Structure 1
Amino acid sequence: MFWYHVVFLALIQGLTEFLPVSSSAHLILPSHILAWPDQGLAFDVAVHVGTLIAVVSYFWSDIFSILKDWVGSLTGSAKTDNSRLGWWVIYASVPAMIAGATLNGLIENNLRSIEVIAYSTIGFGVLLWLSDQFFSKSKKLEDLKLSNVVTIGIVQALALVPGTSRSGITMTAARFMGFDRDSAARFSFLLSIPIILAAGAFKGIELLSGDALHAANWNIIFWGVVLSALSAYLCIHLFLKWLNQIGFLPFMLYRLALGGFLLWLVKVS
């Protein structure tokens, strides 16, 4: 990998992991469009570590409170909004983890084409905008119920399809069920922690079981972690700061433009 490959891919991973635009699609596209070499398993693990560092750092005080009350609920303390939120994050993460463990190979082999990415980018982008426009949304995180959590967890599994966007599909589901933008985004970001951790662990085990770790360029891995962490942290901060002002329309328009460009590429290739 050249230095500009490292910078571009790390920044793209950090920026798109938490925006509703699909990080997996953006990481697949350079090899298809620019004929770049595959970044390799070690680099994939590095940028996952970077985005995990970013989200844990940004929500550290919330995570500490949730963990403290969740552990308390295991030892007989009274249930609180934070302890319930801890359970909700666990419950909502299970469907995606099961789907990832059982369907990952099928998806890797059959659904990573530019055409699939284009249609999922467009379709789920429109759904995101519709969820933001035509439903009453005043519910907060403390209004989450088990039925909401299970629904969000099931639709989160759809993010295995490149172009869907994990953050986008979970926010879409939350908005359809009446949650305000900030609550939908914050729950989506909290859900990213076990999902990124699981994906990173899965890739890490695969890395340790092969020869890729011995051949890894540690300078590239270091900068992959640093750049993805910094860009992801900034992305989370700005997204939450501006979300109520800009809504999801800009993201839908971007997805329509990207999807249309990809379909044009398929047509001319």
Structure 2
Amino acid sequence: MSWLQALVLGLVQGLTEFLPISSSAHLRITSTLFFGNDAGASFTAVIQLGTEVAVLIYFAKDIGRFIAAWFRGLFSAAARKEKDYRLAWYVIIGSVPISVLGYLLKDEIRTSARNLWITATMLVVFGLLLGLADHLAKHERDELRMKDAIGMGLAQALALIPGVSRSGGTLTAGLFLGLTRESAARYSFLLAIPAVFGAGLFSIPDVLERSGEGVQASVPQMIVATILAFVVGYATIAWLLKYVSKHSYSAFVWYRLMLGLVLMGLLSMGLLQPI
């Protein structure tokens, strides 16, 4: 991997991880279209650690409260009635589907699931679903329930397929379940922490193996790309939370549709190879 490619992919990761437009799809498309290769699912998983560190820092006070409440609840019946205790369990429960499926389907995720025809189709289909959810949603609830954790957790698992979008899938599910845009977005950020950290740490040995899938990045390149993803990702979190408090997701829906259709056109004309 060239230094330019590592820097560009780190920037793309930071910009797209928290937007409902699929960071994995953008990394796959950018790498193939501008650099003629696929950086690989393992490289993607590792640099996502940077954006998740951004979540940890941005929501540090909230996360600290949730962890403290969870431990209190293990030993106190009264503490189990706390909102933060329930939310901590919701994050744990919502992380189970993507953790289990990610482990069971890891080979398919790194190979056949990265077909650009699949990516293009998922961009269009889940763009339409996001638009439908945003249009029909009641946006009436701020507080999460168990059904929200399960529904958004299952939706997050679909993001193992590039093009679905982890944030897009969870936001779509949250909106269909009646959550406000901002509440769905905040839970989406928190829900990603266990799964993304697990996938990233699990993938480090693979990306360091010189015979692994995808073009090979050096250790310094991975570190710099991850740091860049962290810096840009932190700014993106702040912007998105402010944006969704006043706007719908329609701009992201139209962007997904256009990107998916353009990608289909490039594949049809043979200007891009699907694998």
The answer to whether the 8 A contact 2:41-2:109 is kept is no
Structure 1 unmatched ranges of 5 or more: none
Q: Give RMSD over aligned pairs.
A: 2.0
Q: Which amino acid aligns with 1:184?
A: A
Task: Identify the residue that residue 245 of structure 1 maps to in structure 2.
Answer: 246
Is residue 56 of structure 2 the alignment partner of residue 56 of structure 1?
yes
- Separation of aligned partners in 2, 1:2 and 1:169: 32
Is residue 205 of structure 2 the alignment partner of residue 221 of structure 1?
no
Q: Which amino acid aligns with 2:253?
A: M
Q: What's the offset of the Cα at 1:198?
A: 1.1
Count of equivalent residues:
265
Task: Identify the residue that residue 269 of structure 2 maps to in structure 1.
Answer: 268
Task: Identify the residue that residue 131 of structure 2 maps to in structure 1.
Answer: 129
Q: What's the offset of the Cα at 1:218?
A: 3.8
Report 1:84-233 matches (<5 A).
Answer: 84-140=86-142, 142=143, 144-207=144-207, 210-211=209-210, 217-233=218-234
Q: Which amino acid aligns with 2:72?
A: G
Task: Identify the residue that residue 20 of structure 2 maps to in structure 1.
Answer: 20
Q: What's the offset of the Cα at 1:108?
A: 2.9
Is residue 257 of structure 2 the alignment partner of residue 234 of structure 1?
no
Task: Identify the residue that residue 9 of structure 1 maps to in structure 2.
Answer: 9
The answer to whether the 8 A contact 1:43-1:220 is kept is no
Structure 2 unmatched ranges of 5 or more: 271-275
The verdict on how the C-alpha distance between 1:147 and 1:46 changes in structure 2, with shifts beyond 3 A counting, is: closer
SS at match of 1:20: coil
- Separation of aligned partners in 1, 2:43 and 2:162: 19
Q: Which amino acid aligns with 1:12?
A: V
Q: Which moved more, 1:144-153 or 1:28-37?
A: 28-37
The answer to whether the 8 A contact 1:46-1:222 is kept is no
The verdict on how the C-alpha distance between 1:85 and 1:212 changes in structure 2, with shifts beyond 3 A counting, is: farther
The answer to whether the 8 A contact 1:42-1:221 is kept is no
SS at match of 1:47: helix
TM-score between both structures, scaled by the size of structure 2: 0.90
Q: Which moved more, 1:194-203 or 1:100-109?
A: 100-109
The verdict on how the C-alpha distance between 1:185 and 1:42 changes in structure 2, with shifts beyond 3 A counting, is: closer
